[in-house]
Structure 1
Amino acid sequence: MHVTTKDGIRLHVEEAGEGTPILFVHEFGGNHMSWEPQMRFFARRHRCITYAARGYAPSDIPSDMEQYSQALAADDAVAVLDGLGIGKAHIVGLSMGGFATVHFGLRTPERALSLTVAGAGYGCEKEFEEYFRGVSREVADNFERQGAKEFSKIYALGASRVQFQNKDPRGWKEFADRLATHSDLGAAMTMRGVQARRPSFWDLEEGLKSMNVPTLIMVGDEDDHCLQPGIFLKKTIPASGLCVFPKTGHTLNLEEPAAFNAQLAEFIAQVEAGRWLPRDPRAIPGQIMRTN
């Protein structure tokens, strides 16, 4: 099925199962099918929804870069819920989808039962911010010049992707083959309009401090440029927890599906039981040992 955003973009949506809704928001290198291990697992007891972001077939692929932005990416997730008549849902995002999930919580916290932010952080570290913006534009140029079919062979072997290839060659090949089918235009516009222009988490600090939505942050310990942003989110968002997967790269939900599903299921269970709470004020970050 499709839903239509406020600016007229048709988004392809798929769903399965019944129960409390979970909305899955995909990464740049994936698409709606990247969530298949989670759709199959969580549909046993939840209404699971996933969608193709704008710029990803079979959703619309606008040719105007101004129709791509971080704010629009977050609002598209709300549009999916609106189109399905869902008031509130657990929002789960990976990488680009993780950024959309953070902004969902900042812009429309009343629509989120919880937030799961996985593998998010590229471009956030201030010392790498300008480098990231430049390399994002270079990646966009490569998708246009070479096309996804050719450039995917390079992109799929990034420093935080090879862990997936080493552990699960068949799963990684599915990921790489899917990346090769991306729209050249959509990939380029998404890189320029969303990735290269999104704000750092550090620029959002005040808003994050007052965002009281229960939040789970997940990151692989070999996903180097997401580690420090993940720790920053943990220190800043009041009701947040951080899970670090050992010997793991960027594509968390596919690289370690059993661990990802188990951690997410436990988080959602605690949220729904009302037991995922803000940090105890007695847990003072600056205190090493109590002496009086």
Structure 2
Amino acid sequence: MIVVVDGIRYHLEVSGEGFPLVLLHGFTGDSSTWRPFFDKWGSHSRLIVPDIIGHGNTESPEGLKHYQIESMAKSLNNILDKIGVHQVDLLGYSMGGRLALTFALLFPNRVRKLILESSSPGLKTESERELRRMNDAKLAKFIVDKGLKSFVDYWEGISLFQTMRRLPAAVQGKIREQRLMNSSQGLANSLLGMGTGSQPSWWEELVQVSCDVLLLTGGLDLKFCQIAKAMSAKLKKAKWIVVENSGHAIHVEVPEKFGTIVSDFLSNQ
């Protein structure tokens, strides 16, 4: 399905029946990230699965304004309006989790339950954000100058994803193939517009989130376990689950366990 918002063509997949569940992929991903869960989750939820701007089959415009995380959250709000959906459950992974949290803060009445996988509310201090913006700008330039293949080679090797090297070669190959389908300009602009250094810090706003929240982190992802621990102390109605023997990408590393945890949380009224 194609939905046009502010002149940008957004691609989304819709599958299943039940209360709407919006699924937001991470940086370098696309809607196919969630396809292995369509049968399981589609039995209880109507799945709404967009390609975030700059990714997959959604357009990758040159200007940065549409990539800013608050702008993308407003675009998602308009997408839901256009397809006639009011309230949703919302699941986001990493970058998609930061977008999901942003959406929940800007449009609280539209979110029934929020699931954040390996996500953060941003960086706490301006000095941290400035340093991240500088690093993301260098990385964006690297993507444009060296090309998508060189960037994916680099991205697959960062420490955040070291546990994914345990996956079967066929699974790693499929992830790589999907990453290489993205647009160099789209990924570069996503870093510049929606990177952790470019978004607002939502740490102080966490107390405003009134819906039920599930925080999921991999037990081997120590950085995001620390972040989730701090988040759970600020959120009013948070449940935090550490998934053992998993790193950052829980949905890829232990998909069956991940799928069951999500289904159980959504069905627990």
TM-score of the superposed pair, with normalisation by structure 1: 0.86
- Kindly indicate whether the alpha-carbon contact (under 8 Å) linking 2:216 and 2:240 is maintained by their aligned counterparts in 1: yes
Hey, what's the Cα distance between the residues in 1 that align with 2:36 and 2:112?
22
**Which of 253, 256, 260 is the matching residue for 1:255?**
253
Q: Give 1 or 2 for the bigger CA radius of gyration.
A: 1
Deviations 1:143-182 (A, max 9, x none): 1111112210110222121212213332222112211221
Is 2:131 the partner of 1:152? Answer: no
Hey, what's the Cα distance between the residues in 1 that align with 2:109 and 2:121?
27
Deviations 1:66-100 (A, max 9, x none): 22101012223222322221111111000110001
- Kindly indicate whether the alpha-carbon contact (under 8 Å) linking 2:66 and 2:72 is maintained by their aligned counterparts in 1: no
Q: Which amino acid aligns with 1:73?
A: M
The ranges of structure 1 where at least 4 consecutive aligned residues each deviate by more than 6 angstroms after the TM superposition are none
Which residues of 2 match residues 45-60 of structure 1 at below 5 A? 45-60=44-59
Comparing 158-167 with 259-268, greater Cα deviation is found at 158-167
Helix, strand or coil at the partner of 1:193: helix
CA-based RMSD of the aligned residues comes to 1.8
Is 2:199 the partner of 1:198? Answer: yes
Deviations 1:115-142 (A, max 9, x none): 1111113953658544432222222111
Q: Which residue of 1 aligns with 2:232?
A: 234
Q: CA deviation at 1:198?
A: 1.0
Hey, what's the Cα distance between the residues in 2 that align with 1:150 and 1:181?
13
Deviations 1:205-244 (A, max 9, x none): 1x21121011111111332432222112211110111111
Hey, what's the Cα distance between the residues in 1 that align with 2:258 and 2:76?
21
Hey, what's the Cα distance between the residues in 2 that align with 1:172 and 1:101?
26
Q: CA deviation at 1:111?
A: 0.6
Which residues of 2 match residues 1-292 of structure 1 at below 5 A? 1-5=1-5, 7-121=6-120, 124=123, 126=125, 128-195=128-195, 196-202=197-203, 205=204, 207-270=205-268, 273=269
Distance 1:264 1:57, change over 3 A: closer
Q: Which amino acid aligns with 2:15?
A: A
Q: Which residue of 2 aligns with 1:279?
A: none
Hey, what's the Cα distance between the residues in 1 that align with 2:221 and 2:73?
23
Q: Which amino acid aligns with 2:49?
A: T
Distance 1:137 1:225, change over 3 A: farther
- Kindly indicate whether the alpha-carbon contact (under 8 Å) linking 1:2 and 1:11 is maintained by their aligned counterparts in 2: yes
Comparing 124-133 with 226-235, greater Cα deviation is found at 124-133
Hey, what's the Cα distance between the residues in 1 that align with 2:234 and 2:121?
18
Hey, what's the Cα distance between the residues in 2 that align with 1:46 and 1:245?
23
Q: Which amino acid aligns with 1:216?
A: L
Hey, what's the Cα distance between the residues in 2 that align with 1:153 and 1:57?
18
- Kindly indicate whether the alpha-carbon contact (under 8 Å) linking 1:65 and 1:192 is maintained by their aligned counterparts in 2: yes
- Kindly indicate whether the alpha-carbon contact (under 8 Å) linking 1:125 and 1:225 is maintained by their aligned counterparts in 2: no
Helix, strand or coil at the partner of 1:12: strand
Q: Which amino acid aligns with 1:197?
A: S
Hey, what's the Cα distance between the residues in 2 that align with 1:172 and 1:241?
30
Deviations 1:19-64 (A, max 9, x none): 1111101111211111112223211222111011111242111101
Among all aligned residue pairs of Structure 1 and Structure 2, give the percentage whose two residues are the same amino acid. 24
Q: Which amino acid aligns with 2:200?
A: P
Number of aligned positions between the proteins:
267
